[in-house]
Amino acid sequence: MSCEIEVDGLIKRFGTNTVLNGIDLCLKPGERVAIIGPSGTGKSTLLRCLNWLDRPDEGRIVIGDLQVDAAKAGKSQILALRRRTGFVFQNYALFANKTARENIMEGLTTVRGWPKDKALARADKILSQIGLGDRGDSYPSGMSGGQQQRVGIGRAMALDADLMLFDEPTSALDPEWVGEVLDLIRAIADGRQTMLIVTHEMQFAREIADRIVFMEGGRIVEQGPPDQIFGNPQDDRTRSFLRRVG
């Protein structure tokens, strides 16, 4: 099966600090890939570069027939890339002055250019799918952390993107809300949505992912099926990390 998403030679620097140092990655249609590794190793930066929230310094991103070269990407290519990727932030990143429904509609009207009535119908459908059909008029301040994150996931779902990016989706949640968010991500994964998930929840990664990618020092050190990575890692750095988090 051919790659749906390719990342070739991705490099990102912040000043003199090279955060991503030549990332190559291929995702097949419907593949769920979990990225694990120590803090500060570039996992979240990789996701942000794939959505162009951070502009990579070098490399190329391919999604279907869209190719975006870091050296010469223009506004139209960046917008096209964002239309094909949905991003779920670890801190929800909802608009405080917009209702749950309006937060979900935002990407449809601004990124997709949908008319308001079409976006409204889509948002109401998504609200039902994420179990918040009765909270469409609620503002983030009146919702639990778990509900806010479900709205954040719903906003990404609404775009019907080729690739969904989850950046530590449970890290900002109180323990009581983690389960409901993970259940929603499992449900999305069951629909064979292509997804990249940065997570510190090792058991969840093992359950949901077709492939585990271990990163350290801005590089991919090792990758493979969950049983291999968690049961028989080949690299000393992977083994050391898993001992610490296990």
**Predicted local confidence at residue 1, as pLDDT:** 52
Write out the E strands in 39-101.
58-63, 66-69, 85-88
- Eight-class DSSP state of 235: S
Name the nearest CA neighbour of 85 among 24, 150, 166: 166
Say which residue, 246 or 198, is predicted with more confidence: 198
Q: Which residue has the higher pLDDT, 22 or 192?
A: 22
Categorize the per-residue pLDDT at 153 as very low, low, confident or very high, splitting at 50, 70 and 90. very high
pLDDT at 99: 98
Answer for the pair 90, 172: CB distance below 8 angstroms, yes or no.
Answer: yes
Structural domains present in the chain:
5-245 (3.40.50.300)
Tell me the CA end-to-end span of the chain in Å, nearest whole number: 33
To the nearest 5 percent, what fractions of the chain are helix, strand and coil?
40, 25, 35
The least confident of 53-62, 91-100, 120-129, 170-179 is: 170-179
Q: Provide the token pair at 60.
A: 């190329």
- Is the Cα torsion angle 167, 169, 170, 173 positive or negative in sign? positive
pLDDT at 168: 94
- Report residue 111's pLDDT band, with 50, 70 and 90 as the boundaries: confident
Q: What is the pLDDT of residue 3?
A: 83
